[in-house]
A and B are shown apart, each in its own frame.
Chain A
Amino acid sequence: MATHLILQKIFKTGIVSEPPPQADPALRTREQELHAEILRVFGQAVTIRHIDAGSCNGCELEIHAINGPHYNIDGMGVKFAASPRHADVLLVTGPVSRNMEVALKRAYDATPEPKWVVAMGECACSGGMFGESYASCGKVSNVIPVDVAVPGCPPTPIVLLQGILAAVSQGRTNTAP
């Protein structure tokens, strides 16, 4: 019974990753550009390890969102890994709390070269509203080298994907302290 309903729903829903009628056309074109660019640069795939270094969980909402069917990141060759040892890109959110400083450094060290770091969101880029304090190291580049900073509170999925692409397509532009 459930199988019948599932199949019915799948057929009725169709493929939302393809141009949905109500979607913003500008948005779709950029998705396709990203797709082509990642294929050109990597030829296959880019693997991301997300690390929440003290975020408010707003950025995490958008990381979840890009895993949804509209964005079809698997089709672009982007996937998320459970371990930094399997990652090409570390996607770091939040101001780095001092309680996460050691864990973030260890995850960075555990990521094999070549690796890129994307600082996602206002807090990761600049420290944001939390800044530097007794409990916060501020921006990610205060703790580990950052290749691409994606601003926004939180950055929208498209901006996030553009940031990931910027990291892997332009080589290393180190903004470390």
Chain B
Amino acid sequence: MKIGEHDWNLDPLGKHIWRGRMETGQLLALARAVKEEGGQLVALWGSDDRHLASSFGIHVALLTSSGLAWVSCALPTNAPAYPDLAHIFPQADRMQRATFDLLGIRATDAVDDRKWLRHGAWPANVFPLRKDFDATLPATLDTDAYPFIRVEGEGVHEIPVGPIHAGTIEPGHFRFSIIGERILKMEERMGYTHKGTEKRFEGLDLATGAKLAGRVSGDSHSAYAWAYCMAVETATASQVPGRAVWLRALFLEIERIANHLGDLGYLGNDVALSFGFMQFWRLKEDWLRLTARLFGHRYLFDCIVPGGVAVDIHDSGKAELAAEADRIEAEVHSLKAIYDEHATLQDRFANTGVCKPDLAARLGLTGLAGRASAQAWDARAQFPQAPYDQLDVGMATQRRGDVLARAEVRFAEVVESLRLIHGLIERLPAGALHAPLAPVSAVCEGLGWVEGWRGEVVVAVRIGADGMLERVHPHDPSWQNWPLVEVGVLGNIVPDFPLINKSFNLSYSGPDL
């Protein structure tokens, strides 16, 4: 695969997915070449490969003009280190710090080497994702003592918020430095929901792994389950029946619509338009109840399984879904007319929480928030996996990068997903729902890449020779986007923070792992 003038010797691993191994020195050159052509770093993670190759591994997934490139480097077992990538792709910063906390693999010369996922639950010299990790840890917790960056000067106040927030939100800590009501700086401290997900994958069978993958971030269940299954099916060279692939896309679009409807309601709520909340949550609830009637679960949990899907749709269900899609589309249009006309809402949405396109590009803003800041990436449109390669997905983009733009992208994506649902059920191929996976006889690996409602979900999987999971890294788009919330709130007033935060609606559990 060529990037710039150079051929990087990457082999195809799946549709639009590439695989390569190189020296750490080359990794830096590759990262620069990708940056040069306008690409992005999507994910960075590590692995303990000492039992296989007497080395540690560092892995990056890079978004290039030819698709997603998964590149790995072998690192020495004593003092494993690789060159810092955050100076090229700033979004690598927290991923590098998490990789050190979990594996003791260090990014050389990184500007920020503070801990990230480790609070006080395990000591600094212990690395849970190493294969020789001793799970009998001291029962007492260390004090966290995280060194926040302080803003000093006359009239500067600090507001610490969280980990437990005032509303029904996941836990995380936000440290505001303010003058008057204006935000001078906001620093995030995450990792509160770190529950050892990656360690938990180790040794699971492939079917149980799909259930766990779907629970990395529950609101993106279908995206994770599909990405995980894609990785497992690539690794084992298994074929998935066409009907199953189309049903997976149907589930993913149902999930996207449910989440966008909920967010559009909450965005109204956060500017005191409770009418908007009640209307959109009425639609969302109708949608969830229909989903449960058709597929047995309101959020489609465990409907995607390795080798296919676990549930089917029949003709009566298709008709019901199509009718409900039409009804919701008409309702969304009428509600959009109200949001468009509502002066207070427009005033609060416009120019609030701005992430300008150039900054978004530099910091790697992705997914729906990225598309609201002119980062025109949508894997369903540019690098479509089946069945999206037959659906011609229309990408929604905006340039403003404010709360309004993120709301507009959601409106456009709801309508587009409702259109896709019609196409998916009309053209759904006949056939089996499920095919058995090909047996595993040697260590194998695969990668899945799915455009979830929030952004791209990437799951990398390595299966051991015994057919059990050996290393799974699920990547949430919130990794890249959380730092942009810190940027987006600058200069805004504190009371607008909930609105700005909701307009991104990022996952805590996804990146906390």
Chain A residues close to B by CB (< 8 Å): 1-2, 5-6, 9-10, 13, 16, 22, 24, 50-65, 67-70, 80, 82-83, 94-95, 97-103, 107, 128-131, 133-136, 153-154, 156
Contacts and interface: CB of A to CB of B under 8 A. Distances in A.
Interface string B149-181: 000000000000001101111110000000000
Contact of B211 (A57, A64, A129): A129
A135 B217 CA distance: 17
Contact of A154 (B164, B169, B299, B342): B299
A69 B278 contact: yes
Given A9-B279, A65-B285, A68-B281, A54 B193 contact: yes
B79 interface: no
A57 B508 contact: yes
Contacts of B278: 68-69
Given A57-B170, A68-B277, A99-B192, 16 more contacts: A6-B342, A9-B275, A9-B338, A52-B171, A54-B171, A54-B195, A55-B170, A59-B218, A60-B170, A65-B288, A68-B281, A68-B282, A68-B284, A103-B171, A133-B196, A135-B195
A62 B338 CA distance: 27
B163 A58 contact: no
B493 interface: no
Contacts of A98: 119-121, 141
Nearest to A121: B218
Given A80-B168, A154-B299, A97 B284 contact: no
Nearest to A94: B193
Contact of B217 (A56, A67, A80, A133): A56
Contacts of A82: 166-167
Contacts of A1: 341
Contacts, number: 168
Interface string B262-289: 1000100000000101110110111011
Contacts of B211: 129
Contact of B128 (A69, A129, A134, A154): A134
26 contacts: A1-B341, A2-B341, A5-B334, A52-B170, A55-B170, A56-B216, A57-B218, A58-B299, A61-B299, A62-B298, A65-B284, A69-B281, A94-B193, A94-B195, A97-B192, A97-B512, A98-B141, A100-B163, A102-B141, A103-B163, A130-B200, A134-B196, A135-B194, A135-B199, A153-B215, A156-B298
B509 A56 contact: yes
Contact of A55 (B218, B221, B262, B292): B218
B335 A129 contact: no
Contacts of B355: none
5 closest A-B pairs by beta carbon, nearest first, are A58-B218, A68-B281, A135-B196, A98-B121, A82-B166
Contact of B282 (A16, A53, A57, A133): A16
Interface in B454-513: 507-509, 512
B122 interface: yes
Contacts of A95: 195
A142 B275 CA distance: 41
B135 interface: yes
B8 interface: no
Given A2-B343, A153-B301, A69 B275 contact: no
A58 B215 CA distance: 8
Contacts of A154: 218, 299
A58 B219 contact: yes
A64 B137 contact: no
A83 to B, nearest CB: 8
Nearest to B262: A64
A80 B141 CA distance: 31
B298 A99 contact: no
Interface in B283-316: 284-286, 288-289, 292, 298-299, 301
Contacts of B216: 56
Most buried by B among A16, A94, A99: A99
B374 interface: no
B221 to A, nearest CB: 7
Contacts of A136: 195-196
A164 to B, nearest CB: 14
Contacts of B301: 58, 153
A70 B120 CA distance: 42
Interface string B176-203: 0000000000000001111111011000
Interface string B413-448: 000000000000000000000000000000000000
B52 interface: no
Interface in B99-148: 119-122, 128, 133, 135, 137, 141
Contacts of B167: 80, 82
A169 B195 CA distance: 33
A24 B122 CA distance: 49
